[in-house]
Amino acid sequence: MGDDKYYTLAEGCPFASNRTAVLMRDKQGGGLGLLQDTQLIETLAHFSRERIPERVVHAKAVGSYGEFEATRDCSDFTCASFLNKVGKKTPVLQRVSTVGPESGSADTSRDVHGWSMKLYTDEGNLDWVFNNTPVFFIRDPIKFPSMNRSHKRHPQTHLPDANMFWDFHVGNPEGIHQLMVLFSDRGTPKSVRYMNSYSGHTYKFTKADGSFKYAKIHVKTQQGIQNFSREEATKIAGENPDYMIQDMFEAIERGDYPVWNVYVQLMSPEAAEKHETNIFDMTKVWPHKDFPLQQIGRLTMNRNPRNYFADIEQAAFSPSTMVPGFAASADPVLQARLFAYPDAARYRLGVNYQQLPTNAAKAQVYCPFQRDGSMRFDDNYGGDPNYVGSWIKPTKFYQDVKGTNPGALSLHTEHEKWAGEVSAYSSEITDADFVQPAALWEVIGREPGHQDRLVDNLVSSVKSVKYPELRKAVYSLFSRVSKDLGSRLQKRTEAAIKAA
């Protein structure tokens, strides 16, 4: 239709004006509206229903489209189709967000940034639901809601609350590594274009025979890491709370397409059994000297959304969205996310959210055992059987059509056989939880002024804690990383409180 489009109501009826209302007028210039005024009623009713539930976390986001290009034939460790040929390109949708704040908040706030990518592969969609930090605050899935609530608003005051934040982290100190990253310079990235992202979780790359390697994925910016200082981030938050959205949109519009290299760390099951730490603990990283980065691809973002709501707000990502050759590990937090993310999408978007254009696979989809439901967009599989085991119309499978089995999603090898009793479990805190944070403190010390900035960033938060005993517990927590760090934090925080 192009430029010949003319205005109609939602059902297609042409209308002569979009500025009129049907009224019974009086002599004084007033008027009573009539129920027959379909245009007015539909306009008002639709406006009241424009908003869908906001994401409970990751509400404020930047979104764009691009492509993933394989730079290596990875057939030696995975049967994933999108990685089987050098130069093979796969369309990608990217969404990068803060975690705790609401949709209208400032995107330069100090926070972890979620980094989700939907790869529209030729064997279905693959969602990589990452963060811009290689570690996380928790390793026990039951703590996920509590951790996020402590980063949000107080239930009585409806204000961000440092007491809540630090009360949670003192009581759950396994997150100290992530806290070190969050309050370092990397807690306030300058732009989506200048940050890395990481799988955090351990995944598995699998082959058709069921063998696999454990994997962590790293997405590293070619633009270089750049961060705001605390003062710069705060200033921009007040002047332009949508700074990151604008920065990314305008960069793509002018053809300055950001690029990231994609790497994997691989670990054999045998090495995992001998590794000094639990490889499913996402509060820890794998040493690069033992498990070096291997480049597998390149990510280029080169197209802005046509419409933010349709393409980005309605996008749904879940680590459970996988393809043959890529599988989940026994990471307990990952296992919980496999359920929580699609469940959130069903609540927010409806049971048929996978049919929305931004979520729909570009590969063939035939899933006649998921039928009906609100907002069904297709023919609902017509008269095909909606039950398994049909003789009238037997279900065909990949191997029936292609002649070969699809790649293994997972296989329970000897390494993965489960034998044990069902029990309630929560991880314990040990000195090992402070080894990598201590090493990070030393690494930060090699950058001029970075240790001081980390301490000052912590002070800006801890000084708002009104309970002296809770502040002491915070100092004690960071003293387990470094006595020097704990001492500096205590002295500067208490001095700031006295000076206030």
Are 214 and 203 in contact, with CB atoms under 8 Å apart?
yes
Query: Do the beta carbons of residue 147 and residue 137 sit within 8 Å?
Result: yes
Angle subtended at Cα 216 by Cα 418 and Cα 117, rounded to the nearest 5 degrees: 110
Verify whether residue 58 is a known catalytic residue.
Answer: yes
137 touches 441 (CB < 8 A): no
Query: 204 with 213: CB under 8 angstroms?
Result: yes
Residues placed in the known binding site for heme:
341
Measure CA 108 to chain center: 17
Angle between helices 230-239 and 450-462 (to 10 degrees): 50
Whole-number Å distance between alpha carbons of 490 and 498: 12
C-alpha–C-alpha distance, residues 253 and 411, integer Å: 45
Q: In angstroms, rounded to a whole number, what is the distance separating the alpha carbons of residues 23 and 451?
A: 69
Compute CA 457 distance to the chain's CA centroid, rounded to the nearest angstrom.
24
Q: Where are the beta strands (DSSP E) in 229-313?
A: 259-267, 294-303
Give the integer Cα–Cα distance in Å for 337 and 340.
Answer: 5
Choice among 58, 151, 169, 201 that is catalytic: 58
Q: Is 299 helix (H, G, I), strand (E, B) or coil?
A: strand
Neighbouring residues of 485: CB distance < 8 A, sequence distance ≥ 6: 441, 451, 455, 478, 479
Q: 113, 327 in Cβ contact below 8 A?
A: no
Contact 254, 123 (CB under 8 A): no
Active site residue: 125, 131, 172, 227, which one?
131
Structure tokens belonging to residue 303: 């197209």
Catalytic residue list contains 113: no
| Nearest C-alpha neighbor of 479 from the set 189, 182, 173 | 173
Catalytically annotated residues? 58, 131
